[in-house]
Amino acid sequence: MADEKRSSPSDYNALYDPATRAARNVALPALPAERPEVERLTKAVPGLTIDYDEATRNPVRISPHQPAGRLSSATADSPEATAQQFIRDQKDLWQLDYDDVETIDVLSVSRQGLPTVRMMQRVGDVEVFQSNMTVAVAQDNSVVSVTGQLFSGAAAGLVRSATRRAGGENAGARDLSAEDAIAKAASDLTGHPYEPGDFEPASAAGGQDGGTYRSYVGKPGTRAGTGGAEPAFKRPVRVKKVLFPLGGGHVVPGYYIELWVAGYPAFSYVVEAVDTPDILFRKNLTSGATFKYRVHNTGIPPLFRPEDGPAPGTPHPRGEPDGYQAATIPEKLIELESLLPGRPWLPDGATTTRGNNCFAYADLKRPDGFDSGEAVGTVTAPGTFDTRYDHSKPATDRSNLQASLVGMFFHVNWLHDRWYEAGFDEASGNAQEDNFGLGGLDGDPILAEGNDFSGTDNANMSTPADGASPVMQMFVFAGPSPMPSRTSNHEALITFHEMGHYITNRLVGNASGLMNTQGRAMGEGWGDFFAICMTSQPEDNFTDGVFAVGGWTDLRPDFENNYYYSIRRYPYSADMNKSPLTFKHIGANVVLPVGPPRSPDAGGPNNEFHNAGEIWCCALWEVFVNLVAKHKHEEAERRMLQYVIGGLKLTPINPTFLQARDAMMTAAAALNPEDLGLIWRGFAKRGMGDGAAGPSSVSSQLTGVVESFRVPPSFDAREVAESLDAT
């Protein structure tokens, strides 16, 4: 039963588990002291930066340190041909042979924002798991940077694996079915004894996924089916064959699986496809968060930017924790097709909030997801959704629910279009019902579930790989009695944060990349940043103003500084006397600064995801504030979104703070190198300057930070400061 549900299992990746590799006699090569292929490229590209994977010892990020540096000159007349040529020319960097190079396919090409080419290894029709390679290409088709992982010996490793099964140590081992693998994964997640016979292939009507994925459902009358015991499945299980790399040329056939089980977070698995199935990979796809706001609008074209929420209060009018409560504001009726020409949010004649990018509905009761008894945003007149929110009534009031569903639908679509303009397009893995033949997998609009029955006083986003719909669950907030309840559906600061989890998880490893402590922390920080940046206004006080990531829904009987702290330890501000955190404060046992007021309602260790994420958001905010001072608000935001989204495309799996910083720098260098000094100045202010050192990508305590507040010598900090003062 639901109340007997055990806690969710931990994330796991066998590639990074020494015990698993040792049990399989997989020896990883030591990184040679001298690598001729690295020396060759270093001579050709002065100041080259190469980050290596801690398991395979292969590069996961290669970029020039100079602002306008390039890894290669133009070698072909298209981005994809240039990317392929670079990999062929530099194959020794990943210890690839010619057979390995033949396994690399171009997956998609994104031409929005920073042009990027996504590549993947396939042996036959089966992909090598996490062999995601992103090559950034300048307008002249020269290579800007390379991010991702390629695995040597994949094809040969598969042959060796098959040979061992046929006559070696695993002789007689049987190949397992997808149903075997699903049962193994479902049992691991829930603790219930699922059997292969509980599952069957979905019918064509149930949706096969174009040959790459196949869908499976629980048989009626079984535990996995609708007629069996709990827990049941909320949606069909999506499965595809993969080859899982263990390093050193070893690969294992497996099944990639996405599970949506009632009462549990969404999870992805890779389960071995041979003999007794081992779990090779496990990742919680649900990113929790706790900021909740619904949209009201400035009404200013052409952007029609959402307000913070129904009672906007950022920046804080007095910049001190004095119990300030913002007044509610009326909604505005906005007439808008979309922000992207020719890409309407709804088709002609639509009567509900179900469009190409988003399906917004209320999920008020079991089972999870939309059914015929649920509410959906509905027109009040042809072409018009015109329901007002009554603050004297609870969030569950029928009219209030309608108003908030429409607001949530607006937020998701607005972010879709803004992020699309900055580079998060179909080829990059965005969520759309129809991708219009422009790359990626379609059939995966955002499912925005308002007033979700499964929780209170919170919100979350579950993000599967491209081609399956992410789910955003927004909850009702009880609020202080006798005030009526409030809803996160219509709150921009909450919906924007949750949507931030979706974009970051899709762009880093296609939903499998942010599973280390620093990656998950940055996921929270990116979400906070999107919330406060994309609801900021030109007239805001960016110099020393206080910006909270929540407010309206966070009011409780024992907590009245919701507009100053929200749910974080400190507010976000460029004023270090209000927001004092620097890079070292991600470390588990580092003492927090004395002096600046800290929320009495937020705590926990520094290395907790949300707490460490505060430092990442602080650094991004400093960069944005510098850009605003130089370029003014609208242009600064346009550039910043391109840098952040371009940087996300270039961020390796299991990233560190400094790798993500450098990825963002690389994107900026390719787009507007004149901004690099401003970006360096922002990161340096928070201790991530030139010469900073951080924890390894596998660190959980996040100790060993060496801070640097220095801008690189190639950028004169005085000149940067003067340029800011002059504007």
Confidence label for 209 from pLDDT (cuts 50, 70 and 90): very low
**What confidence score (pLDDT) does residue 470 get?**
98
**Token pair of 641, please?**
């979104």
Question: Residue 480 burial by CB count (10 A; 0-12/13-18/19+): exposed, middle or buried?
Answer: exposed
pLDDT in tens, 662-696: 999 999 999 999 999 999 999 999 999 999 999 99
**What confidence score (pLDDT) does residue 56 get?**
86
The residue among 151 and 207 whose pLDDT is bigger is 151
> Residue 587 pLDDT more than 90?
yes
Q: How far apart are CA 608 and CA 258, in angstroms?
A: 26
Confidence label for 456 from pLDDT (cuts 50, 70 and 90): very high
Distant-in-sequence, close-in-space partners of 344: CB < 8 Å, separation ≥ 6: 337, 338, 355, 356
The residue among 434 and 335 whose pLDDT is bigger is 434
Confidence label for 580 from pLDDT (cuts 50, 70 and 90): very high
Q: How far apart are CA 425 and CA 243, in angstroms?
A: 27
Average pLDDT over residues 308-323: 94
Return the ∠ at Cα 56 (arms to 520 and 73), rounded to 5°. 90
> Residue 126 pLDDT more than 80?
yes
Confidence label for 291 from pLDDT (cuts 50, 70 and 90): very low
For the chain, the first-to-last Cα distance in angstroms comes to 62
What mean pLDDT value characterizes the chain? 89
* DSSP strand pairing (286-289 vs 279-284): unpaired
Q: How far apart are CA 367 and CA 373, in angstroms?
A: 11
Q: How far apart are CA 599 and CA 620, in angstroms?
A: 22
pLDDT in tens, 564-573: 999 999 999 9
Distances in Å between the Cα of 554 and the Cα atoms of 129, 215, 362, 487, 497 are: 41, 40, 21, 11, 15
CA R_g for the chain: 25
Q: How far apart are CA 508 and CA 500, in angstroms?
A: 12
**Token pair of 71, please?**
């890894």
Average pLDDT over residues 20-37: 79
**What confidence score (pLDDT) does residue 161 get?**
54
* Tokens 């006080």 sit on residue: 541
Crossing angle of helices 633-649/398-422, nearest 10°?
80
pLDDT in tens, 84-117: 999 999 998 898 989 999 999 999 999 888 899 9
Confidence label for 180 from pLDDT (cuts 50, 70 and 90): very high
The pTM assigned to this predicted structure is 0.87
Least confident piece of the model among 5-14, 140-149, 375-384, 398-407:
5-14
Nearest to 532 by CA among 506, 571, 504: 571
Distant-in-sequence, close-in-space partners of 1: CB < 8 Å, separation ≥ 6: 230
Which helix or strand (DSSP H or E) is residue 233 part of? none
Give the helix, strand, coil percentages of the chain, each rounded to 5.
30, 20, 50
**What confidence score (pLDDT) does residue 211 get?**
57
Confidence label for 723 from pLDDT (cuts 50, 70 and 90): low
**What confidence score (pLDDT) does residue 292 get?**
27
Q: What is the sign of the dihedral through the CA atoms of 69, 655, 462 and 614?
A: negative
The 3-class SS string of 654-693 reads CCCHHHHHHHHHHHHHHHCHHHHHHHHHHHHHCCECCCCE
* DSSP strand pairing (126-137 vs 143-148): antiparallel
- DSSP secondary structure string, 552-588? GGG-BTTB--TTTTTTSSS-B-S-TTT----GGGGST
* Tokens 């922390």 sit on residue: 521
Strands (E) located in 273-420: 279-284, 286-289, 358-362
Q: How far apart are CA 136 and CA 667, in angstroms?
A: 8
> Residue 491 pLDDT more than 90?
no
Least confident piece of the model among 84-98, 104-118, 289-303, 336-350:
289-303
Question: Residue 384 burial by CB count (10 A; 0-12/13-18/19+): exposed, middle or buried?
Answer: exposed
**Token pair of 33, please?**
């002291």
Residue 302: asked if its preceding bond is cis (omega within 30°), the reply is yes
Other beta carbons less than 10 A from residue 72's beta carbon = 21
> Residue 574 pLDDT more than 90?
yes
Secondary structure letter of residue 203 according to DSSP:
P
- DSSP secondary structure string, 505-545? HHHTTTTTS--SHHHHHHHHHHHHHHHHHHT--TTS-TTT-
Report yes or no: 442 and 434 within 8 Å, Cβ to Cβ.
yes
Residue 460 has φ and ψ, to the nearest 5°, of -155, 165
pLDDT in tens, 50-61: 898 888 888 999
Q: How far apart are CA 691 and CA 704, in angstroms?
A: 14
Distant-in-sequence, close-in-space partners of 208: CB < 8 Å, separation ≥ 6: 202, 214, 215
Confidence label for 6 from pLDDT (cuts 50, 70 and 90): low
**Token pair of 419, please?**
């992020």
Distant-in-sequence, close-in-space partners of 428: CB < 8 Å, separation ≥ 6: 108, 110, 112, 116, 118, 439, 440, 506, 507, 649
Query: What's the distance, CA 339 to chain centroid?
Result: 23
Residue 401 forms beta bridges with which residues? none
Nearest to 231 by CA among 264, 182, 196, 198: 264
Confidence label for 3 from pLDDT (cuts 50, 70 and 90): very low
The residue among 589 and 175 whose pLDDT is bigger is 589
